[in-house]
Structure 1
Amino acid sequence: MTGSTAAPFTADDYRARMRRASRAAADAGLAGLLVAPGPDLVWLTGYAPTAATERLTLLVLAPDREPVLVVPALEAPDAAHAAGAAALTLRDWTDGKDPYALTAGLLGASGHFGISDNAWAMHLLGLQQTLPGTSYASLTQALPMLRAVKDAAELELLAAAGAAADAAFEELRHVPFGGRRESDVAADLAALLRRFGHSQVDFTIVASGPNGADPHHEAGDRVIERGDMVVLDFGGLKDGYGSDTSRTVHVGEPTGEEREVHDLVREAQEAGFRAVRPGVPCQEVDRAARAVIADAGYGEYFIHRTGHGIGVTTHEPPYMIEGEEQPLVPGMCFSVEPGIYLPGRFGVRIEDIVTVTEDGGRRLNNTSREMLIVE
């Protein structure tokens, strides 16, 4: 199977998203939105420049005004395809000209604007120098829920990405682990993700034995041994939408303590999932999962948030973390991934992507959460 990098959305879909973003900006008291290359631009227009560039590319959205895409002239032919599909006006600039002056004419002398988190600092500074009467806030700060609620088509793509990741894991559990390097198993996992339709593999964590106590361990040259617990965390993009799942397996028969810790994380993950329902603050998902682990005496070993949103990127708002009072809304998608990490010994993490439904939650990952024995 092969994957593509772009999701199959129509011009009407992109126009509706830009209108929705403009309304959200107005409701938040913003004069407009400035969207640099990255996930926000892909979601709003379907356009992704072929490579990162120091030349200014910026979508300008303002209430009651038509959207305008500012691009360098050498990128204009590619941008024109997206501009036409999304009903954008294209404004190009050539090397040697001032792109900030061009953009300033679209913004006005003053106003408070939202700008993409991943906009280059030199572009923001250039705009500030050209328009000293303007101010800026990151899109995550100003409109944290802009991409958080998925429509039916997006949910279908996320479900397909989750199913593809599940299929990769079902194959992986039958390959040899013991006596092989973590990097070898990680390579197997990446190949399986691509085989089942991923066009982009973002991460393949294979953390064996004591490495499992590092939640973001990079697969390395450690040889996996019999008796190791192995944390597997993997995902990427399929048809433009993300997958992200974790399972923890054991090479050979586990000890009683290892089974106990694994069962505890499984119970915590179930508690987090059962907390999902419309209107519940995001932090309650974190609290539900964390309470199970804390009550068992392992609270200090759960060292990260319970979850993060997912969509056209594998990490985005909303976040399941203490202090996040944003209520859950049907269509939100995020991970539920508690873990216990015992330094120098082993770690356990279990993760599913979950979407909020009208009356609860639905898992987009459905492989076994029981302790799995591998060879």
Structure 2
Amino acid sequence: MSRRSLHTPAPDVTSLRARLDRARGAAANAGTDALLIAPGSDLRYLIGQAGGSFERLTTLVIPADDGTPALVLPKLEAPGYADVPLDDLGIEVVTWVDGEDPYGIVANRLGAPGRVAVSDTMVALHVLALRGALGSAEQTLAGPVVRELRMRKDATEIAALRKAGAAIDRVHARMGEWLRPGRTEAEVGADIAAAIVEEGHTEAEFIIVGSGPNGASPHHDVSDRVIEHGDVVVVDIGGPIPEGYNSDSTRTYAVGAPKDSDVEDTYAVLLAAQRAAVEIVRPGVTAAQIDGAARDVIADAGFGDYFIHRTGHGIGLDVHEEPYIMGGNDLTVEEGMAFSVEPGIYQAGRWGARIEDIVVVTADGVEPLNNRPHELVVLDA
């Protein structure tokens, strides 16, 4: 019956209290009477711990008015929150046991709300039960409210992302230890996974080793394909550090001299596109403009149809979060926003390449958090 919670070093109480206050204000500005935050990254952002989502309801109830926030949770799960400074944060702990109605407990605390916002990732089991308990209250998503807070990282968060970026750079620096002909992608991936933990992460969240034609699939994983001399290999890796913030970096390697004659010229286009997108980042530029800076370089060189995904995604407590760097997104980036810049060129059945850095918007420009060489790295084979 034991459950493992996601414990990470929490921000200080002052920071957490400020986040809760901002969340309350953001809910009020959105015309929402309360936020119902399920276990996950939003909960970790607000109280310093993610908890776990199971068949029993756990939710942080944050009224938009001056009512007292409450953590409603099963009594058997309460010990898992012993390290969270709930009293100092002004959060009341409301426990329940099997046989009681937790949804009624939430409804009684809120009275007769007109509108409540539930976590984007709250499971349907709880969403529908809350809908029944709250009567005529309209349900909306809490994501649009909370993401306005989470998109803008504070100094502590940026320091954690900087630490994560340096840790994953150290893994890329060791790629020559593992990536060579005669080994499978899966074998290389296992070595990378171990190194990710050795270099300071709590786990390897994802590992892509796309060799040869597999590199043309952006979300390839690893396979039993044997790496060959002359292969171009896309390596996209990342994971969380103890503070809970994530790394994510892609570099493209050649195992010996590339066997395809067009690799050098095509990769030069990709390199120019990635540089152009990073260089344009500064407060006041839109996400769409950053995407366009990379996409235009690739399209002008005749590879527009081979760049098949957005240029980037936000990163923090989640690997993928707001803001999304893509065409049509007119969001203006601001100081403290952190996201990837990762254009790619993918030629199905042949080979692919991607270059990815995490960057942070500064007061007057941009700070890349990954600093390994961007050029095609040719490894001894």
Deviation at 1:218, TM superposition (A): 1.3
Counterpart position of 2:283: 278
For 2:221 and 2:228, locate their aligned partners in 1 and report how far apart those are by CA, in whole Å.
17
2:247 maps to which residue? 243
Correspondence for 2:89 among 80, 86, 89: 86
Q: Which residue in the other structure is 1:260 paired with?
A: 265
Checking the alignment, whether the CA contact within 8 Å between 2:36 and 2:118 is kept in structure 1 is yes
More displaced, 222-231 or 124-133?
124-133
2:23 and 2:145 in contact (8 A); partners too? no
**Partner of residue 57, structure 1:** 58
Distance 2:147 2:252 in 1: 32
Distance (whole Å) between structure 2 residues aligned to residue 145 and residue 219 of structure 1: 35
Unaligned runs of 5+ in 1: none
Partner residue of 1:209 out of 203, 209, 212: 212
* Greater displacement, 171-180 / 188-197: 171-180
Shift of 1:256: 3.7
Contact 1:278 1:359 in 2 (8 A): yes
Percent of residue pairs identical? 46
TM-fit CA distance, 1:327:
0.9
Partner AA of 2:27 in structure 1: A
Q: Distance in 1 between matches of 2:222 and 2:306?
A: 21
* Deviation of 1:140 (Å): 2.6
Question: 2:40 maps to what in 1?
Answer: 38
* 1:367 aligns to 2:372 (yes or no): yes
1:139-198 residue CA offsets vs partner (Å, 9 max, x unmatched) = 234443220111111110100000000001101234342110001111111111111110
Aligned to 1:21: 23
Residues 67-78 of structure 1 aligned to structure 2 (within 5 Å): 67-78=69-80
TM-score (norm 2): 0.94
Q: 1:5 to 1:101 in 2, by over 3 A?
A: closer
Query: What residue number does 1:346 align with?
Result: 351
Q: What is the correspondence of 1:1-375 to structure 2 with a 5 Å cutoff?
A: 6-49=8-51, 51-63=52-64, 64-82=66-84, 83-84=86-87, 86-239=89-242, 240-254=244-258, 255-374=260-379, 375=381
Listed as ranges, the gaps of 5+ residues in structure 2 are: 1-5
Question: Alpha-carbon deviation of 1:9?
Answer: 1.3
In the alignment, the residues of structure 1 paired with residue 181 and residue 114 of structure 2 have an alpha-carbon distance, to the nearest angstrom, of 60
**C-alpha distance in structure 2 between counterparts of 1:288 and 1:84, whole Å:** 49
Distance 1:180 1:74 in 2: 47
**Corresponding residue for residue 3 of structure 2:** none
Per-residue deviation, 1:13 = 1.4
Letter in 1 for 2:299: A
Q: What's the TM-score once normalised by structure 1's chain length?
A: 0.96
Asked whether the 8 Å contact 1:202–1:237 carries over to 2, the reply is yes
The structure with higher relative contact order (CA 8 Å, sep 6+) is 1
Equivalent residues of 1:229, 1:249 under 8 A apart: yes
Pair 86,197 (structure 1): closer, same or farther in 2 beyond 3 Å: farther
Counterpart secondary structure, 1:117? coil
Q: 1-side partners of 2:233 and 2:91: how far apart?
A: 49
Structure 2 CA distance, aligned partners of 1:181 and 1:116? Answer: 40
Whole-angstrom distance in 2 between the partners of 1:88 and 1:183 = 46
Change (3 A) 1:13 1:141: closer
Q: Is the 8 A contact 1:5 1:199 kept in 2?
A: no
Alignment: residue pair count: 371
Aligned partner letter, 1:248: T
